[in-house]
């Protein structure tokens, strides 16, 4: 659909060009009407027609400016429409990509981990197995430690640990682990013939 709106904007621009060309072609014959004779009546009629021609040209200039603005707005709305369509398609595509790994491993393939809820000391969620940052740990409630940051995916950063709550012996949570060398993701190690 965005391509139809864009095509309409292009068509309207062509129509505007044709209208402008017609108005310019009519400018001299309609604004400078010659008197049919040397008498006052002929001169008066020529002046009236010339005034109407100039009024038409002024109106045509306003219509042209309005038309140009309309075409610009239509083209901009086509771009916005295309962006909205792409944004609406992205979550369903990501859900389709993540569904198998969520079903098998309980973790998405791509995506950031959820942050722990503030005031609970909850740990941050893990990032996607391939791409994703770990979620930040939730801050601790009164007398409670902060939650640990979630682990990163293969490409990503571990989540920040949450702040400890008010109290004498509370601690902030640990930051989420980065992916160690030789691992696909935290807890998933690559095994080769020489590494066992």
Q: pLDDT digit string (tens) for 90-126?
A: 777 888 888 998 888 888 899 899 999 999 989 999 9
Highest mean pLDDT among 8-12, 25-29, 59-63: 59-63
Whether 36 and 101 share a structural domain? yes
Q: How many domains does the chain have?
A: 2
> What range does the domain containing 122 cover?
107-196
Write down the pLDDT at residue 2: 72
Whether 59 and 111 share a structural domain? no
Whether 91 and 111 share a structural domain? no
Write down the pLDDT at residue 69: 92
Please give the backbone phi and psi of residue 77, each rounded to the nearest 5 degrees, phi first: -70, -30
Domain boundary residue among 81, 105, 129?
A: 105
Supply the pTM of this predicted model: 0.46
Q: Which residues of 36-72 are buried (b: 16+ CB within 10 A; e: fewer)?
A: eeeeeeeeeebeebbeebeeeeeebeeeeeebeeebe
pLDDT in tens, 59-100: 888 988 998 899 898 888 888 888 888 777 777 788 888 899
pLDDT in tens, 124-176: 999 988 888 999 999 988 888 889 999 988 888 888 888 888 875 767 667 77
Measure the N-to-C terminal CA separation of the chain; round to a whole number of Å.
Answer: 56
- What value does the mean pLDDT take over residues 20-29? 84
- Name the DSSP class of 189: E
Whether 138 and 81 share a structural domain? no
């Amino acid at each position: 659909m965005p391509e139809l709106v864009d095509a309409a904007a292009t068509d309207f621009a062509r129509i505007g060009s044709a209208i402008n060309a017609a108005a310019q072609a009519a400018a001299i014959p309609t604004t400078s009407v010659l008197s049919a004779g040397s008498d006052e009546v002929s001169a008066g009629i020529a002046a009236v027609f010339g005034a109407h021609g100039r009024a038409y040209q002024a109106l045509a200039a306003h219509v042209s400016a309005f038309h140009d603005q309309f075409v610009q707005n239509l083209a901009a709305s086509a771009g916005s429409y295309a962006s909205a369509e792409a944004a609406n398609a992205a979550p369903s595509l990501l859900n389709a990509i993540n569904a198998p790994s969520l079903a098998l491993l309980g973790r998405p393939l791509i995506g950031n981990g959820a942050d722990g809820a503030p005031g609970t000391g909850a740990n941050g969620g893990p990032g996607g197995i391939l791409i994703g940052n770990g979620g930040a740990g939730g801050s601790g409630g009164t007398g409670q430690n902060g939650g640990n940051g979630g682990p990163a995916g293969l490409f990503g950063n571990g989540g920040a640990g949450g702040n400890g709550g008010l109290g004498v012996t509370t601690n902030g949570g640990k930051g989420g682990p980065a992916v160690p060398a030789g691992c696909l993701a935290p807890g998933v190690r690559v095994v080769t013939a020489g590494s066992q």
